Copies of this chain bind each other. A is one copy, B any other.
Amino acid sequence: MPEASNKDNYVVGVDLGGTKILAGVFDASLECVGSAKLSTTAQRGLESVLERIERAVRDTVDEADLGIKQVSAVGIGAPGAVDFDNGTVIFAPNLEGWKDVALKKELEKHLGIPVFVENDGNIAMLGVHVAELKAKPRHAVGIFVGTGIGGGLILNGELHRGFNHTAGEIGHMVIDVNGPKCGCGNRGCFEALASRTAIFQRIKAGIKEGEKTTLTETLGDNLEDLRSGDLRKAIRRGDKFVVKVIEQAAEYIGIGVANLVNIFGPEVVVLGGGVMEALADEMTAVIVKTAKEHAMPGTMKNVEIVASKLGDNAGITGAAVLARRGTK
């Protein structure tokens, strides 16, 4: 493994998602001075994804008018169970089922600088805690709703990784034991009920059952290129079917919040990820109401439920924090 270096003040944070790879260069004050985005195209295989991560890192460095030698380390958030110590992705259902991928080792070979790998939910929560939560709560939970649902726990002011470094897999908390099948093989996981994937499936199934929606007028009957932003526009047009589906997803998120508040007693619950970025105005009130209804009396007192303002940048910000800490 290449040695960590303190000579340069730049780090790169990478958010490896099921759909896209986002990379950003951060300076010593954790300002993002350049970024790049590529599609993941996980179906093309592991080598292709590794090559694209490398390209995203090099592109963002170039974008910031820097050379790779001025970057002291790279942090990466990956969508699945990660062994932080050796930088292996143990299992990533949203990356065509990656298993035991030595991401750190492979990328260090490609890039020639130290690489640190962490679960994407953990890293996004680390980013939010360091860059956004000014009050530095001792205990906080992050729920990141995108292609899947990732989570991150801050306990006693530190990222909680747990015994196998796999803590924070809140997306696979079973909430509806007889519910829809999840990518992990179980039924009724949080992610199978309230992720973008679940929301889109429910909309497509509804259309097949004859539900009327303005989405088909703008995107065609197959809803090609459907994005979270289209749902926001449909709701603002008064689309009752989309309103209903989004309210239902918000209720599931509210139940997820209540479960986590009952179990951990956080001071702050952060809602983030692409779905929340697009639909926070539409969903937050229902989430808060449902969470309050489902949490035990006393557990919610003075607990804040907030939508993250970092949005899609939470992941790269946290990855930059990880890279910075790794080089210290």
- Interface residues of chain A, those whose CB is within 8 Å of chain B, are 81, 83, 90-91, 99, 137-139, 151, 153, 155-156, 160-170, 172-179, 184, 186, 188, 252, 255, 258-260, 262-267, 293-303
Q: How many copies does the complex hold?
A: 2
Q: Which residue of B lies closest to A167 (CB)?
A: B265
Give Cα distance in the complex from A83 to B138, angstroms. 18
CB-nearest residue of chain B relative to A298? B90
Kindly list chain B residues whose C-beta atoms are within 8 Å of the C-beta of A258. 172, 174
A90: which B residues are within 8 A, CB to CB? 297-298
Cα of A170 to Cα of B303 in the assembled complex, Å:
18
Flag if B296 contacts A184 (CB, 8 Å): yes
- Which of A167, A188, A267 is the most central at the interface, judged by chain B CB atoms within 10 Å of its CB? A167
Q: Does the CB pair B139–A296 fall under 8 Å?
A: no
Q: How far is the CA of A26 from the CA of B297 in the complex (A)?
A: 33
Please tell me if the beta carbons of B186 and A294 are within 8 angstroms of each other in the complex: yes
CB distance from A304 to the nearest CB of B (A): 10
Q: Which residues of B contact A83 (CB under 8 A)?
A: 298
Q: Are A265 and B298 in contact (CB under 8 A)?
A: no
Give the distance to chain B from A302, nearest Cβ to Cβ, in Å: 7
By a CB distance below 8 angstroms, the chain B residues around A175 are: 174-175, 177
